[in-house]
Amino acid sequence: MRTISILAASVVLAASSMYSARAHAAGQIDCEMKFNLTGWAAIYKHAEGNGTITCNNGRSFKVHIVAVGGGLTAGKYKVEGGTGKFSDVYDTSELFGSYAQGEANAGVVKSSMAQVLTKGNVSLALAGTGNGVNLGVSFGKFTINRAK
């Protein structure tokens, strides 16, 4: 009897979590970012840029991006036409703030970047190509703020 009660409770719990997941999925917002970024590194890394976040709920935001960090890295680079894809969010305010960043890169003349950043439950996958010379591994933060 105890086994049947546990099994029944498990089924009810699973069913309610599926309903809850579907209810939450209906409220999720899908957002993407287009950006340009220019930076340099000599042990300390600094990059700044601008972009636009566009969401499937009709909202869009002009943003300013700052990436800082340190590690074994050197060079300078410029990314034009970079793209970012956010994990689904429930509120667009979740998109802004500082993301943890880890990166490995290499390039001469044509440079490329691909990385996934995290901030709590929100992830951001970045990709882009550009020009520059860089080599190294760096860690730091990638901050997105609304442009003024």
Concatenate the DSSP letters of all residues of 3-54 into one string.
HHHHHHHHHHHHHHHHHHHHHHHHT-B-EEEEEEEEEEEEEEEEEEEEEEEE
pLDDT, tens digit, 9 for 90 and up, residues 2-35: 443 333 333 333 333 333 343 345 579 999 999 9
pLDDT band of residue 37 (cuts 50, 70, 90) is: confident
Mind listing the pLDDT tens digit for each residue in 115-137? Answer: 788 898 999 988 877 776 555 54
Q: Taken in order 55, 113, 62, 65, is the CA torsion positive or negative?
A: positive
What is the pLDDT, as a whole number, of residue 68? 84
More confidently predicted of 19 and 56 = 56
The three-point CA angle 114-87-95 to 5° equals 95
What pLDDT sits at residue 110?
A: 57
Write down the domain spans for the chain: 31-146
pLDDT at residue 43 in the model: 67
Tell me the per-residue pLDDT of 67-115, one tens digit each, with 9 for 90 and over: 887 655 667 778 888 899 999 999 999 999 999 876 555 555 555 667 7
Nearest-5° angle of CA 86, CA 90, CA 92?
A: 65
Of the CATH numbers 3.40.50.1100, 1.10.760.10, 2.40.128.480, 3.10.20.340, which one belongs to the domain with range 31-146? 2.40.128.480
C-alpha–C-alpha distance, residues 127 and 85, integer Å: 9
pLDDT at 22: 37
Q: Does this model's pTM top 0.85? A: no
